[in-house]
Amino acid sequence: MQSFSDLTGSFESRFTSSLPFPDQPTALYEPCSYLLHLGGKRVRPVLCLMACELFDAIGDDAWYAANAIELFHNFTLIHDDIMDKAPLRRGQPTLHHKYGMTAGILCGDVMCIYAYEQLAHVRKNLPQVIQLFNKTAIEVCEGQQMDMDFETRNDVSIEEYLTMITLKTSVLLACSLKIGALTGGALGDNARKLYDFGKNMGIAFQLQDDLLDAFGDTAKLGKQNGGDIRANKKTYLLLKAQENATGDQKAQIAQLLATDAGNQKVADMLALYTATGADKACRDAMTHYADLAFANLEDVAIPTVRKEPLRELARYLLVRDK
CB of 44 to a copy of itself, least distance (A): 17
Closer by beta carbon to a copy of itself, 100 or else 188: 100
Closer by beta carbon to a copy of itself, 27 or else 251: 27
Closer by beta carbon to a copy of itself, 140 or else 290: 140
E strands of the chain, at which residues? Answer: 88-89, 92-93
**Three-class SS of residue 259?**
coil
Enter the DSSP assignment of 232: T
CB of 144 to a copy of itself, least distance (A): 6
Residues that bind a copy of itself (CB under 8 A): 24-25, 27-28, 79, 82-83, 102, 105-106, 108-110, 112-114, 116-117, 120, 126-127, 130-131, 134-135, 137-138, 141-142, 144-146, 148-149
Enter the DSSP assignment of 260: P
CA distance 26 to 32: 10
Closer by beta carbon to a copy of itself, 127 or else 222: 127
Phi first, then psi: give them for residue 185, nearest 5 degrees.
85, 20
Closer by beta carbon to a copy of itself, 142 or else 312: 142
Closer by beta carbon to a copy of itself, 19 or else 266: 19
Contact assessment for residue 4 and residue 316, using Cβ atoms and an 8 Å cutoff: yes
Closest CA to 20 of 120, 117, 104: 117
CB of 64 to a copy of itself, least distance (A): 13
Q: Which is it for strands 92-93 and 88-89: parallel, antiparallel or unpaired?
A: antiparallel
CB of 35 to a copy of itself, least distance (A): 15
CB of 23 to a copy of itself, least distance (A): 11
**Three-class SS of residue 85?**
coil
CB of 59 to a copy of itself, least distance (A): 17
CA distance 31 to 21: 11
CA distance 150 to 154: 8
